[in-house]
Amino acid sequence: MSEDSSRRRRASDDDDARPVTAAGRRRRADAAGNGSGGDATDTASGRSSGSSGKGTATPTRDRTQESQGSVFARLRRFLREVVAELRKVHWPTRRQIVVYTFVVLVFVSFMVALVAGLDWVFAKAVFALFG
């Protein structure tokens, strides 16, 4: 899909303009990061040294390190990671839960009434048509 040429902005025209293409965003990140145009990639970690971590693939893990350890150690690590992820969750307040529950109940009752009404109308139409 081609973009409208009048909407495109060049960095030389307006330095604060938001880049339109992904290539423009990469150039801006490279210019802001390390000043070099090339992509300096660290081969050990697989990360680009010039970027802030966005736009690069996550390096693969070494599977041999992951499978080491006893079953209990792996289970303990799994449970620690579960707790860490649950701490990141935005838990709704009691008031939000009450409001959301009310909204769901109203919507479900509306849909039940709609389906029941349509069922009644179609039943009357079929009975009138076929007697």
- 63 and 78 in contact (C-beta within 8 Å)? no
What is the rounded CA–CA span in Å between residue 55 and residue 29? Answer: 10
Q: What is the mean pLDDT of the chain?
A: 77
> Has residue 80 got a pLDDT over 90?
yes
Structure pTM?
Answer: 0.39
What residues does 48 pair with on adjacent strands?
Answer: 41
The predicted pLDDT at position 126 comes to 96
